[in-house]
A and B are shown apart, each in its own frame.
Chain A
Amino acid sequence: MVEMAEKKTPRKKKSATETAEAATEAAAESQESGGRTTGEGAAPAGAPREDFQALQRRREQTALDVSRSFPDKYRLSGEMEGCTDARKIELLERLVKTREFDARMRRLFRQGRFEGTFYSQIGQEACDVVLAYQMKKTDFIGPSHRDLGASVGKGIPLTALAAQVYNRVDSPDGGRYTACHYWHPEYWVMQPSTSIMMNWIAATGAAFGFKMLKKDNVAAAFGGDGATAHGDFHEGCNFAAVHRLPIVYVIQNNLWAESLPLSLTTALRDLSHRADAYGFPGVNLDGNDVVAVWNATRAALDRARAGEGATLIEMKTYRWFGHSDIDPADYRSEDEVEDWMERDPLPRYVAWLEETEVLDAETLEGIRERVRKEVEEAVEFAEASPRPEPDAFLSKVFVHEYPGFDVRAGR
């Protein structure tokens, strides 16, 4: 088994529960000695309230429970329906490419090589790479802000993606939009909006457009577990259901909506049940299992292309690092992060390919070598790409000209 990226051990830090328990003990001691434990200013400095401690416990158990609900941490089983060995290998290369690009960008961000921040996707790659890889170039993807894999999976060159991270002129938007919000017009991956779920609605609109214009295309939209609480999740799903739109909806349930655990986002155990409310199929699966993701997305794409309507696929997965790379993610326990890192989708897929004699060491080494080279070339390309001229944003506000419009506002 190969290590696919730097595996950063989470910071050694007491979990919030441990901290809370220590504080409770301190409070109990104080009570025994006759001290008051209730009332303002009486509790020892730093002691969390009891209801806060309960909240912490609730936060921490969900992700481990979900992990333990899957029978096997490592092994994949079954067969990837309708996938040739050559495509299995090509898919592996896209997965490795996504992982290595992401890991490289994280390091470059820490070195201060580009401004803004970085949204690492590491741990979740199987969810979007596997679906995007199966789509036609002219099919539409509405990604969220963490869907590097949707772009790599669909075949966008790493050079364009790196230039996007760096906000350079060779970025598809010339550096005017937002770093790491990957998109590319030729590959029909739309710009993710930082405001959650706009892509969900837009992809629904694209699916409507395909149907109305009688085009043989389908759309896919990605969102997270937290995003399912947004009204646009509902408005999009409901409309797609009524009009049997050719769309695949994917929830990447990474169990944390920025700092909010699943248990505080929803009272549901499985978000796939939300599909029942709309009248189309909802499935949930281990999003770190490439074989399972392949089969479910393939069936959903077939269903969409056959005019049978939408599917909601909940993929349970985990982001290894913070919401963005300025987030230490210390709201999660070490146990939880380690547990999920052991469920890494890449080595699991590699092991399965080796067991099924699809992959040999030489092929794997070839992939690693090509990816390493491509990532390095992408970084060199981005760093060599000029920074945009300061006034390059002063255009294209409108398509047409208007007599009273002054883009410079008199400056």
Chain B
Amino acid sequence: MAKLTYIDAINRTLHEEMARDETTFLIGEDTGIYGGVFKATRGLLEEFGPERIIDSPISESLIAGMTVGAAMVGCRPLPEIQFADFISPAFDQIVQQLARYHWRTDGTYAMPVTIRCPWGGGVGGGVFHSQSNEAWFMNVPGLVMVAPSTVRDAAGLLRAAIRSDDPVLYWEHKKLYRSLKDDLPDGEEIVTEIGRAHVAREGKHVTAVTFGYLLHPTLEAAQGLAEDGIEVEVIDLRTLLPLDTPTILESVAKTGKAVIVHEAPKIGGIGGEIAAVLAEECFWELDAPVRRLTGFNTSFPAAKTMEDLYMPGVEEIRRALRTTAET
């Protein structure tokens, strides 16, 4: 049994899966010699050599787009976008080519590509190192998105993504990299099923739906409310696309109330999609308006004082859950 951080779990899984499958290769900026700006890829170059661990030029479009041709000829590519905020130059390749190629070719080609994207705020990074930009991709057919919020799922979802034949955007939260530790048994091949949310805490009065770093303040808020007799059911989405709507609907049908918590701006965010699903599928079971607690409709601020306000905190989440529960 080893105590691993979230980033250790990512690193260990990359080592294991690359050893298991010789058609895998990793390409990203500073991922080889330097071991990644966060050290997520440390040791890979030494183990697998420069033919499979590629230090890419600063060319995000290439990093994402070259995987299409490589996958066609038999590779299982593992591109890394250094910060999720830098994914926009690769947007065209991901949304127009990679995500659609299986459909476009009438199922001829699979695109077994896992794009790792360090994302999220709370790390003092300013606007280009803090964004939660997953909603940019929500409207893209053929794309899968996962976002682990625990050490175990960091390993399990990464393994599932690498072995998947669908293209997966794997959102790894920077604030969790070294703030979480867990015991992961040596040699256990943890696989977290893609497409399934996890009920992280059971409750009957209100459902909180969240993912990534915010799972933890949400659980803390739920713990506090339990002392006041409000039982919060907390759903950790784990897969953002396609959303596990059956699990969300089942929970909200039970509690009758829902609060969605995420870092991204409210307008056009994932919370809106979830709220719409609830309105369409679960209207008659609702006992209160669906609430969204999100980042502000601004860019992400740099100064600590501002960042603290931007990120939904435990107190704010507790207030939102209590208000909805008591409606």
Interface of A toward B, CB cutoff 8 Å: 140, 142, 172-174, 176-177, 183, 185, 190-191, 193, 195, 198, 201-213, 215, 217, 219, 231-232, 235-236, 238-239, 242-243, 393, 395-405, 410
Tell me whether B185 is interfacial, beta carbon within 8 Å: no
With A239-B59, A398-B142, A399-B166 known to touch, is A201 a contact of B69 (CB < 8 Å)? yes
Q: Mark B87-120, 1 if CB is under 8 A from A, else 0.
A: 0010011001100011111111110000000000
Report which of B51, B67, B194 forms a contact with A400, defined as CB distance below 8 A: B194
Q: List 9 A-B contacts (CB under 8 A).
A: A173-B104, A176-B106, A201-B65, A201-B93, A208-B66, A208-B69, A231-B61, A232-B65, A239-B56
B57 contacts A238, C-beta separation under 8 Å: yes
Tell me whether B164 is interfacial, beta carbon within 8 Å: yes
Nearest opposing residue in chain B for A195, CB measure: B96
Query: How many angstroms from the CA of A141 to the CA of B72 in the assembled complex?
Result: 12
- In the complex, what residues of A have CB within 8 A of residue B68's CB? 198, 201-202, 205
Report which of B59, B62, B97, B239 forms a contact with A402, defined as CB distance below 8 A: B239
Query: How many angstroms from the CA of A177 to the CA of B101 in the assembled complex?
Result: 10
Could you tell me the distance in whole angstroms from the C-beta of A373 to the nearest C-beta in chain B? 29
B59 contacts A404, C-beta separation under 8 Å: no
B110 contacts A399, C-beta separation under 8 Å: yes
- In the complex, what residues of B have CB within 8 A of residue A212's CB? 25, 51-52, 70, 75
Within 8 A of A (CB), among B30-82: 51-52, 54, 56-57, 59, 61-62, 65-75, 77
Could you tell me the distance in whole angstroms from the C-beta of B64 to the nearest C-beta in chain A? 8
A232 contacts B61, C-beta separation under 8 Å: yes
Query: How many angstroms from the CA of A116 to the CA of B246 in the assembled complex?
Result: 40
Central interface residue in A195, A208, A236, by most chain B CB within 10 Å: A208
Report which of A172, A195, A217 forms a contact with B105, defined as CB distance below 8 A: A172
Interface of B toward A, CB cutoff 8 Å: 23, 25, 51-52, 54, 56-57, 59, 61-62, 65-75, 77, 89, 92-93, 96-97, 101-110, 141-142, 144, 164-166, 194-196, 239, 242-247, 280
A213 contacts B75, C-beta separation under 8 Å: yes
- In the complex, what residues of B have CB within 8 A of residue A203's CB? 69
Could you tell me the distance in whole angstroms from the C-beta of B108 to the nearest C-beta in chain A? 5
Query: How many angstroms from the CA of A238 to the CA of B106 in the assembled complex?
Result: 32
Extra A-B contacts (9), CB below 8 Å, given A190-B69, A215-B73, A397-B142: A172-B106, A172-B108, A191-B105, A195-B97, A205-B65, A209-B72, A398-B144, A400-B166, A404-B245
A142 contacts B101, C-beta separation under 8 Å: no
Nearest opposing residue in chain A for B27, CB measure: A208
With A176-B104, A239-B62 known to touch, is A202 a contact of B73 (CB < 8 Å)? no
Could you tell me the distance in whole angstroms from the C-beta of A201 to the nearest C-beta in chain B? 4
Report which of A140, A198, A208, A231 forms a contact with B97, defined as CB distance below 8 A: A198
Query: How many angstroms from the CA of A236 to the CA of B61 in the assembled complex?
Result: 9
- In the complex, what residues of A have CB within 8 A of residue B57's CB? 235, 238-239, 242
Query: How many angstroms from the CA of A402 to the CA of B108 in the assembled complex?
Result: 20
Report which of A202, A206, A399, A402 forms a contact with B195, defined as CB distance below 8 A: A402
With A399-B165, A403-B244 known to touch, is A219 a contact of B107 (CB < 8 Å)? no
A191 contacts B101, C-beta separation under 8 Å: yes
With A198-B97, A209-B73 known to touch, is A204 a contact of B280 (CB < 8 Å)? no
Nearest opposing residue in chain A for B67, CB measure: A205
Query: How many angstroms from the CA of A205 to the CA of B73 in the assembled complex?
Result: 9
- In the complex, what residues of A have CB within 8 A of residue B103's CB? 176, 393, 396-397
With A205-B68, A206-B72, A403-B246 known to touch, is A174 a contact of B106 (CB < 8 Å)? yes
Report which of A202, A210, A238, A410 forms a contact with B65, defined as CB distance below 8 A: A202
Query: How many angstroms from the CA of A177 to the CA of B103 in the assembled complex?
Result: 8
- In the complex, what residues of A have CB within 8 A of residue B247's CB? 403-404
Query: How many angstroms from the CA of A213 to the CA of B71 in the assembled complex?
Result: 11
- In the complex, what residues of B have CB within 8 A of residue A206's CB? 69-70, 72-73
Report which of A142, A208, A402 forms a contact with B70, defined as CB distance below 8 A: A208
